[in-house]
Amino acid sequence: MAELTLEDIAKQVGVSRSTVSRVVNGSPNVSPEVRLQVEEAIRITGFHPNAAARSLASQRTRVIGLVLPRSVSSFFTDPFFPQLTQGIAVGCNANDLSLSLFLVTNKEDEDKIMPRISRSGMLDGILVQSGRADDPLMERLTNSRIPCVVLGRPFNHDCFNYIDVDNVKAAYSATKHLIDLGYTRIATITGSHGSTVTLDRIEGYVNALTEAGFVVQPSLISKGEFSETSGYEAMKSLLPHKPDAVFIASDLMASGAIRALQDSGLHVPEDIALVGFDDIPLAALTKIRLTTIRQPITQIGSKGVELLIDLIENGSQPPRNFILDTELIVRDSCGAKLRQKK
């Protein structure tokens, strides 16, 4: 069968195309009887308006894009992204939006995908995961006039609408927690170089140490890149400097760090205490349950969708941002329980 059109339904009921369109779009200006008849016809035939025609006429597609830049390489290793995606999907479903996924894996992808994203009226708006500060994608995206919400604080943050958590504060409270427990050689394993997330978390770490009167030692700052393996390596490189506690910028890296410590015959938290970041499901399941900073990952996604919808409907001046709360989840890896007993 050929696809049904508004016109077909109209003919069937004996009204005009316009009236059927009104019913479909929930316009109030239709008499109750006619509305009922039309609705019945739509139900029986299973008619559904053609999306392309709708978009063309209304200049709205009801599709938003989620862009994960090249610099976000850990989409399929770090549970953070699937969870974020899930949050976004839920937000889309709730608002009758479709979600287009743009996973940029290399330069060619970027060149191919960009025009599809920015022009061409195929998307009403986009959500971008903020990656590295110097990611050229961000600039290309700003240049295109499409409404855009950044997930995570972008570098030039006053030009963008974004959703983020207060990474400085979160990292501060993680580090402060370790200080309060009496550790004195507190190291950190950072996220990948050049992202605001990483910068902010380092800042929070430094703030807490400074405030407590500690000297920040570069040898106790080890660079990871959000992967399990990088956590392993970073921990290994930290060991010669004898830290007694480590704040680690992601739970995935923390699990790598734990592995490194096990390989070296060290115990958590007796020999070295750890605090992670994210509170991924794994964090509560490792043998040594991870003390960590819980991010409202799903909420970041749904809040992002919400803001984007508002932008699409009401314009985006001036740029807005929402900073969501984090929470310190105390489990075993920080040694809090151990120390209490003493």
Contacting residues toward a copy of itself, per CB under 8 A: 3, 46-53, 55-56, 61, 63, 66, 75-77, 79, 81-83, 85-86, 89-90, 93, 96, 98-103, 105, 109, 112-113, 115-116, 118-122, 228-229, 232, 256, 259, 262, 281-282, 285, 287
By a kind-dependent CB cut-off of 5 to 8 A, residue 82 interacts, out of a copy of itself, DNA, none, with a copy of itself
Q: Which residues pair with 127 in a beta bridge?
A: 66, 149
Closest distance of CB 67 from a copy of itself, Å: 11
How far apart are alpha carbons 250 and 230 in whole angstroms? 11
Q: Does 93 bind DNA (CB under 7 A)?
A: no
How far apart are alpha carbons 292 and 82 in whole angstroms? 19
Cβ 127 vs Cβ 308: under 8 Å: yes
Closest distance of CB 49 from a copy of itself, Å: 7
For residue 32, is the peptide bond before it cis, meaning its omega torsion is within 30 degrees of 0? no
By a kind-dependent CB cut-off of 5 to 8 A, residue 79 interacts, out of DNA, a copy of itself, none, with a copy of itself
By a kind-dependent CB cut-off of 5 to 8 A, residue 7 interacts, out of a copy of itself, DNA, none, with DNA
Instruction: Decide whether 51 or 159 has the Cβ nearer to a copy of itself.
Output: 51
End-to-end CA, the chain:
78
Q: Does 274 bind DNA (CB under 7 A)?
A: no
Nearest partner of 276 among 334, 198, 202, judged by Cα: 334
Q: Does 15 bind DNA (CB under 7 A)?
A: yes
The interface region with DNA, picked from 1-9, 147-155, 266-274, 317-325 by CB under 7 A, is 1-9
- Strand segments, DSSP code E, in the chain are 63-68, 98-103, 125-129, 148-151, 161-165, 186-190, 221-223, 245-248, 273-278, 291-294, 321-324, 327-329
Phi first, then psi: give them for residue 13, nearest 5 degrees.
-85, -25
By a kind-dependent CB cut-off of 5 to 8 A, residue 182 interacts, out of DNA, a copy of itself, none, with none
Q: Which residues pair with 195 in a beta bridge?
A: 132
How far apart are alpha carbons 217 and 185 in whole angstroms? 9
DSSP state of 282: G
Q: Does 45 bind DNA (CB under 7 A)?
A: no
Closest distance of CB 181 from a copy of itself, Å: 26
Sign of CA dihedral 152, 155, 161, 165: positive
In one-letter notation, the amino acid at residue 323 is: I
Q: Does 24 bind DNA (CB under 7 A)?
A: yes
Q: Does 3 bind DNA (CB under 7 A)?
A: yes
Q: Does 54 bind DNA (CB under 7 A)?
A: yes
Q: Does 31 bind DNA (CB under 7 A)?
A: yes
Instruction: Decide whether 221 or 282 has the Cβ nearer to a copy of itself.
Output: 282
Cβ 334 vs Cβ 177: under 8 Å: yes
Closest distance of CB 208 from a copy of itself, Å: 30
Instruction: Kindly list the residues in this chain that would bind DNA in the complex (CB under 7 A).
Output: 2-3, 5-7, 14-19, 21-22, 24-25, 28-34, 49-50, 53-54, 56-58
